Amino acid sequence: MNALAAIRSLLRTDLKVGRVVPPAGYTARLTIFTSGAMAFLAVFALALSLATGRLADRWGAELARTATVRISAPAGQVEAQTQAALRVLETTPGIARSRALDREEEQALLEPWFGPDLPLEGLPVPRLIEVIEEGEGYDRDGLRLRLQAEAPGAVLDDHTRWRAPLIRAADRLRLLGLAALLLIAAATAAMITLAAQAALAANSQVIRVLRLVGARDVYIAHAFVRRFTLRALAGAAGGTLAGMLAIALLPRAGAEGGFLTGLGFQGAHWLWPLCIPVLAAIVALLATRVAAFRSLGELT
């Protein structure tokens, strides 16, 4: 409620408060440009964070749902061990389906490396069983032990080995995106502080007169805070819109694009960038307020 009242008092067309400080020159344009540019960058950092987050979730989810059992055994035992392994898998809770790949499918998997005419029959190629999980998944260690007992040549490969670094990379990218957002906010605060200090210094005579006729510090600070907040809001709104437009117009490369085309907003995520102008306004409000009270404190 308090914040709401503060914002309402800020937006009220209080011409008097706005006008006691003379209309500013370049600091106004500087603030609008800076917050616009920062908002534009923030949109991309946000898109990166959201997209990598999405990617990590998807990789995690997709890869976690499948596993492979590989059976390498002397030629005579392969079929028996495959059947044994399938029986074990059928009775394992958390596994929806399991299915041995047939020769054609194995051929298709190896084709990219060995060409279409590979005579699999003559080679000790292991049999592969595809395992699809359900619910909470299965107990990996328990399954490994049981497979070892029933089919000594069976090896469970649950993809965690190569999934983990991918997800770690995606998570790291998401963190970098968030760090970029924080840096953008800090840089905005720094630049608005500088602009506010310049405006306060340029208006020191005005501030002196206002103090002499009985203006309280909050009144004077408010005049500056109001200005810079509205400017940051306007600039950031423009920058955010431009950034969102740029992302909406990113060329689509279909499935092959993979990660690159994933860099966008999806569904409700389009609402996230709308927070950027509000945050920019809050950053400007706080930065100007601190700068104003500090420079007013140096005045008698």
Selected range binding other proteins among 15-23, 123-131, 137-145, 257-265, rule: CB under 8 A? 15-23
Considering the complex, what minimum distance in angstroms separates the CB of residue 290 from other proteins?
A: 16
Nearer to other proteins, 172 or 216 (CB): 216
Q: 6, 22, 25, 140: which one contacts other proteins (CB under 8 A)? A: 22
Least separation in angstroms between residue 36's CB and other proteins is 27
Among positions 1, 23, 115, 141, the unique one binding other proteins when judged by CB under 8 A: 23
168 binds other proteins (CB under 8 A): no
Contact between 300 and other proteins (CB under 8 A)?
yes
Q: Does 133 engage in binding with other proteins (CB under 8 A)?
A: no
**C-beta of 179 vs 209, nearer to other proteins:** 209
Check binding of 144 to other proteins (CB under 8 A).
Answer: no
The residue (of 135 and 297) whose beta carbon lies closer to other proteins is 297
Q: How many residues in the shown chain lie near other proteins by CB under 8 A?
A: 21
Query: Which residue number, 23 or 76, has a Cβ lying nearer to other proteins?
Result: 23
Nearer to other proteins, 109 or 209 (CB): 209
The answer to whether residue 91 forms part of the interface with other proteins (CB under 8 A) is: no
Q: Give, as ranges, the residues between 190 and 229 that touch other proteins (CB under 8 A).
A: 205-206, 208-217, 219
CA–CA distance, 103 with 52 (Å, rounded to integer) = 37
Closest separation in Å from C-beta 30 to other proteins: 20
Q: Is 28 in the site for other proteins (CB under 8 A)?
A: no
Does residue 214 come out as left (phi exceeding 0), alpha (psi in the -120 to 50 range) or beta? left
Region 258-287 residues binding other proteins, contact defined as CB under 8 A? none
- CA distances (Å), 151 to each of 1, 79, 120, 133, 143, in order? 68, 10, 22, 20, 11
Residue 13 makes contact with other proteins by CB under 8 A: no
Contact residues for other proteins (CB under 8 A)? 16, 19-20, 22-23, 205-206, 208-217, 219, 296-297, 300
